[in-house]
Amino acid sequence: MTSETRTAGFEVHGARGAFNAAFFSMMGPYLERSLRRHKRRVFADLPGTVVELGAGVGANLGYLRPGSTLIAIEPNVPMHRRLRAAAERHGVRLDLRDSLAERTGLPDRSVESVISSLVLCTVSDPAEVLAEVRRILRPGGTFRFVEHVAARAGSPTRALQGALRRPWAWTFEGCSCERDLAGLLRTAGFARVDIEQYRLHTPFIPFNTQIAGVAHA
Ligand SMILES: C[S@@+](CC[C@H](N)C(=O)[O-])C[C@H]1O[C@@H](n2cnc3c(N)ncnc32)[C@H](O)[C@@H]1O
């Protein structure tokens, strides 16, 4: 692989892809401690087959029952080795696809549950991703999410999110801390959207303003 290649329309950065895979493996336990309370609530009682957008190195495998199937949409190939190993450790059957969350390739109304954590910040077009989630969910299905979002306009955190925009996006492969994802979710056409907004207290200040919730198809 060259230092920058494309996989299924996704730009894979050789060095940064490997860095992010190592970063999220190393930081996994810390992120998990910070997010566990919210993940436990929104990822409770997942069905036996789940689609995960941007599964990374497998941060959410612990929320699936052993023997479950995870259809993991993860175009970032440097994540794959660790994701496969983590799925094996958790006893989860992994159906790994290097497609994009914007175009999963899954049939209309075929899925009971889609999950994501810290992904809508990074995809190129979150509105397109939400339209795709609605397309693949069957009526009554759920999209469960834990995401970081823009802080309140005019707040010090919002100013910092703007100031760090470029180095943050460069380091974390396109991640933006300035997205109004709650607004997007509420206007995406779901039958009902339940969202909790909260603030973490980590040293990664631009990342501390968060939402977690469930959108019902
Ligand atoms: C910040 S990481 C989060 C990984 C994991 N969900 C977690 O909570 O640790 C963002 C993930 O989204 C993936 N990603 C970025 N753009 C994507 C897209 N268009 N479709 C699917 N996944 C994407 C990245 O490869 C990366 O694994």
Instruction: Tell whether ligand 1 has an atom less than 6 A from the beta carbon of residue 208.
Output: no
Which one of 5, 117, 122 would you pick to mutate in the ligand 1 pocket, going by the greatest count of ligand atoms within 8 A of its CB?
Answer: 122
**121 CA → ligand 1 middle, Å:** 9
Other beta carbons within 10 Å of 107? 9
Distance 154 CA to ligand 1 centre (A): 28
Answer yes or no: is the C-beta of 209 below 6 A from any ligand 1 atom: no
- Give yes or no for residue 52 CB within 6 A of ligand 1: no
Q: How far is CA 34 from the centre of its chain?
A: 16
Contact 216, 142 (CB under 8 A): yes
Instruction: List average pLDDT for each run of 10 residues in the chain, which is 217 residues long.
Output: 52 86 94 97 98 98 97 96 98 97 98 98 97 98 98 98 97 96 98 98 97 98
* DSSP one-letter string for 88-143: HHHT-EEEEE--BTTB--PPTT-EEEEEEES-TTTSS-HHHHHHHHHHHEEEEEEE
pTM for this predicted structure: 0.95
Q: In this predicted structure, what is the pLDDT of residue 12?
A: 81
- Strand 49-53 relative to strand 10-13, pairing: unpaired
Residue nearest to atom 12 of ligand 1 (CA): 54
Residue 2: the pLDDT is 38
Identify the residue whose C-alpha is closest to ligand 1 atom 23. 54
How many CB atoms sit inside 10 A of residue 207's CB? Answer: 21
CA distances from 169 to 25, 61, 97, 175, 198 (A): 19, 26, 24, 5, 23
